[in-house]
Amino acid sequence: MKEFGTDITTDDIVDTLAFFDSWDDRYKYIIDLGKELPPLAESEHVDENIIRGCQSKVWLASERRDGHLYFQVDSDAFIVKGLLGVVLAAYNGKSPQQILDFDIEAYFGELDLMRHLSPTRGSGLQAMVARIKTIAAETL
């Protein structure tokens, strides 16, 4: 299985989304990304891993290995799982400092993503990013 952040990068996602002419096709691709996420262990589906501010249920677990952070995620909504894949491509397997230094707004801008999400989905996406950045800051 491919790993987001190493095998599937932000450049891969930007290039692939640019290939599609319609947002319907882009949404299908994002949903397919979510299907590639490795499953999150049931033991990680706990309250402390829930991301507040998301319309759907979203869980985020993290671990630090060799100075890098690795994230495992899950959601009860297909599109949200895909959005989690988009986020993991930016952050998974990076050092805490790389996570804090990465310009996620520019990445989302390059994807033209926020303009095509409902306000609640956009807020949820920002909540995911905020949680990951908090984890990175706490591990420095």
CA distance 24 to 68: 35
137 in catalytic set: no
Q: Which of 54, 60, 61, 99 is catalytic?
A: 54
**8 A C-beta contact, residue 54 and residue 63:** no
CA distance 58 to 51: 6
Q: What is the DSSP letter of 103?
A: -
**What residues are labeled active site?**
54
